[in-house]
Structure 1
């Protein structure tokens, strides 16, 4: 009866376009292991060491597979880990394209696996499916069976704060990134052009403007044509912000805390989307765009186009986490610090929280072995487990140098790096530390990060967890506000909307209830700080 009710309720939820349909908020105590918890006593978990269990068990997991990946069953990490643990995992792989729809259907039909892996659960989804009894609370399991994850949460309290519901439950665990270089897009400038034009690295937004003009006008590539691209950025995804705004916001004193356009000032939440400083940022970007210093395709280009512009060597200033896209001409570029803005602000605002990939892993109520499953995933939050996940087999795929794993030259030449690891494509539940990042964090990238680190916020708070009703209200508010904010910001930058209309823009944000949204975030932040 209980299972039938859940299936009916969740199908109704999907049919309503994933809007709530009278679901319970999930208050009260919940059994973490669900109704089948006793099954795990038949094959009890070993609380330390390997194997995890005496007799082999099978866990079924639903996962996202990126276009660059090979089949998970062929990845050495899962083959070798099965031998270590006595846990066989059967993965149901859903391609990135269409993954969200398949995930929705999975929960709507209630045909659940034992766990969802690399699942990209949103806070709203985690809260909703937890309240419906489809995901089990994990906080007790973490305490007893996940020493690596628990240690990371104790060392970085903002992790726990950003994954715990107001009722005190953790329904999904994130990918954790303690390496700063994996949390930022570096600011890459064409040092070959600087040298040719006898220019210094720009330290302010005014100096950056003059540098970009020189890139445009003074033929730094030496071909006698005015074909240089001074500055470009990713186009971004609708509803997820404007990359060039996010990247330049810190120079105007605008942070991105709590997963949104928020400054924290003396523990007060300030959504800055209608602020005077934001207007100044837009006016600056408009000047760059109008004078053909900012790529005219900055709002429309595909990812492949953007990467090609990096690799061309004909771009002056752009942004990316690593130097992989321009590795063959890497010597041409150098990472720089955030330029100081008109008020001296020099913040590296565009930085992900340590709990970077929310909802990377969750255990469902169908799981007969939740304790074993928690021990299984916890290994990947250690440097040893993360090395196995990211690099494969020592000797065959990588070798250690001073304790740091590096792909072997032969394996690098094979081009099969993304075939052996679920890390490629992002979102895998594991630890990214300085010990396991040699491929994405070579010396040039770390040097670029060193230019950013002094300007990063001391603490970067991720998006807070809301109760189910509040989460739905936030979803409604942000859908409207974000759409309007992005549309109007793009028009201001491109010159399609005059800054004489700024007052109307501010008034419309008010009508879209931005003050209500700010209060919701304030209340959530106050609870996180307790």
Structure 2
């Protein structure tokens, strides 16, 4: 028995040592000699202009990168110049998303954090709300030391809205990414099939039904097999013509300025009838409820012939492989009410919060705030989204900015991630400055902006990315786990078995019995708080 107990004890001891070693590496600025000096020597700090401090100061900055991306972004020339110009040296603590969940738990349990946390993938809303004492309220720092961010919030008020926590204070800094579209995924169809069958691009759900039926029955890929899949996925995209435009996938919509839980609305009910009609006639993939992303991708890129007729995508070239040339993006499909709806955001799919936090461990928050504010200029932001001027971006004589071509064998997106913070970290590009950014209209970000013109005018205002209190975060998982599971189960039943009218009242009653009113109240309260921010 003694021998049996040795391994667990040894394992626990090893974990403790590993945790202790990690915490030493991530420790806040209290143990940093330069920072302690800066905290005392206030004469070294400049409230305006550069450098930020006369004598060098080091900040520990923690960020998390996807998989094995590593820290190549730190070689971005703008970041290198920032250290030289500000006198603020950065000790980067770059973690991998692969093992961050365990490391995060240890870090939060310890209460000993680095000076700055960068990137919204590092800590979630609930991580922050449930550990507010670890993070500094930023309102006064923004007002006194961050003129760039303050101006950005005045120009784009939603940046302040998404950053304001339930107690009315700002604990994390937001971002507005450059050159982002208003629309999310848009309808994509096999134009080669349409032309072969003599069909026009569908504009209404009735015309789409006719096209999907022809795709199934008339062998448009010409291989003599009945292998065509008219439509392939279950998603909110296929019921968006019914006004179900749920960007944040939380089953909420904004209708006439009010928060609405749409899985019990008449529009959703009609959408279920539409999906059931398609399923019953074999126009939806027969493996609709059993396939995973890998299986779907294999069908998109079927080696012998294209087999998918219609889908919703960001850009066609991203999924269809060698068949990409056959597919085109088309305008949104009009619904039964004659209107078109596109999932997205009228102010652009560019805003996020939790991109930079200054921790309570930091002894020099004024320095950290002034350092962070340098990221909120237009030129800083584009260099931290794509890469440095002179490396990735060419600044032209007419004050426009052109993205250079990536090295041979490297995709543009991979190059941007290698050279910059990309989606993560504080940024602000003003709408007027975006007009100076020249993108390739045939690929990547530039292509999406071109395609966006097809659907951007039909984008509906989504239920926003609201913030919840610690009490609400405690109650939400219990409610959403049961309610969301039931909604998804019943959607599959509605699609595959029908009888929607006959079972609808019982479905709604069951949701009410599960506490739907509590869930809607939590979401509505959060929405009211969001809109109350001035």
Give unpaired runs (5+ residues) of structure 2.
1-35
Provide, for residues 294-317 of structure 1, a one-character-per-residue CA deviation record: whole Å limited to 9, x for no partner: 334455544455445445554322
CA distance in 2, matches of 1:403, 1:68: 36
Give yes or no for contact 2:60–2:115 (8 Å, CA) kept in 1.
yes
2:385 to 381, 390, 395: 390
Q: Does structure 2 conserve the Cα–Cα contact (< 8 Å) formed by 1:52 and 1:86? A: yes
1:472 to 444, 454, 474: 474
Relative to 1, partners in 2 of residues 1:306 and 1:153: Cα closer, same or farther, differing over 3 Å? Answer: farther
TM-superposed deviation, 1:324: 5.0
Shift of 1:135: 1.0
Partners of 2:446 and 2:374 in 1: CA distance = 28
Larger radius of gyration: 2
Query: Cα–Cα, structure 1 residues 395 and 281, in superposed 2: closer, same or farther, change >3 Å?
Result: same
Q: Is the 8 A contact 1:51 1:86 kept in 2?
A: yes
TM-score (norm 2): 0.79
Aligned match for 1:366, one of 361, 365, 368: 361
Q: Answer yes or no: is the 8 Å Cα contact 2:178–2:382 preserved in 1.
A: no
**What corresponds to 1:206 in structure 2?**
206
Confirm or deny: 8 A CA contact 2:136 2:171 kept in the other structure: yes
Structure 1 CA distance for aligned equivalents of residues 367 and 438 of structure 2: 28
Q: How many residues align?
A: 482
Structure 1: which 5+ residue stretches go unaligned?
1-35, 234-243
Q: Distance in 1 between matches of 2:388 and 2:179?
A: 23
1:466 CA drift (Å) = 2.9
**What CA deviation, in whole Å up to 9, does each residue of 1:372-401 have, x standing for no partner?**
323333333333112211332334334346
Distance in 2, matches of 1:296 and 1:73, equals: 44
Residue pair 2:162, 2:466 contacting (<8 A) in 1 also: yes
Aligned to 1:417: 415
Query: Which residue does 2:327 correspond to in 1?
Result: 333
User: How much is the aligned-residue C-alpha RMSD, in angstroms?
Assistant: 3.4
What is the match of residue 60 of structure 2? 60
- What is the DSSP-based 3-state SS (H/G/I as helix, E as strand, rest coil) of the residue aligned with 2:134? coil
> Are positions 1:276 and 2:274 aligned together?
no
Partner Cα separation in structure 2 for residue 322 and residue 86 of structure 1: 43
Residue 450 (structure 1) aligned with residue 453 (structure 2): yes
Which of residues 310, 327, 340 is equivalent to 1:346? 340
How many angstroms apart in 2 are the aligned matches of 1:412 and 1:150? 41
2:223 counterpart SS class:
coil
Name the SS for the 2:187 alignment partner: strand
TM-score (norm 1): 0.79
CA distance in 2 between counterparts of 1:507 and 1:207 reads 35
Aligned equivalents of 1:378, 1:101: Cα separation in 2: 31
Shift of 1:325: 1.5
Distance 2:86 2:338 in 1: 54
Structure 2 partner of 1:104 = 105
Change (3 A) 1:155 1:308: farther
Matches of 1:308 and 1:50 in 2, distance apart? Answer: 54
| 1:271-301 Cα distance to aligned partner (Å, 9 max, x none) | 1112222122122223333434333445554
Please state if 1:89 is matched with 2:90.
yes
Give the 3 Å change call, closer, same or farther, for CA 113–377 of structure 1 in structure 2: same
Q: 1:406 touches 1:438 (CA, 8 Å); kept in 2? A: yes
Matched, 1:254 2:244: yes
- The CA distance in 2 between the partners of 1:480 and 1:525, in whole Å, is 22
Worse-superposed segment, 361-370 or 292-301 = 292-301
* Deviation at residue 193 of structure 1 after TM alignment: 2.1
Higher relative contact order (Cα pairs below 8 Å, separated by 6+ residues):
1
> How far apart, CA to CA, are the structure 1 residues paired with 2:282 and 2:81?
53
**Residues 448 and 472 of structure 1, relative CA distance in 2, 3 Å threshold:** same
Q: 1:390 to 1:58 in 2, by over 3 A?
A: same
What is the DSSP-based 3-state SS (H/G/I as helix, E as strand, rest coil) of the residue aligned with 2:374? helix
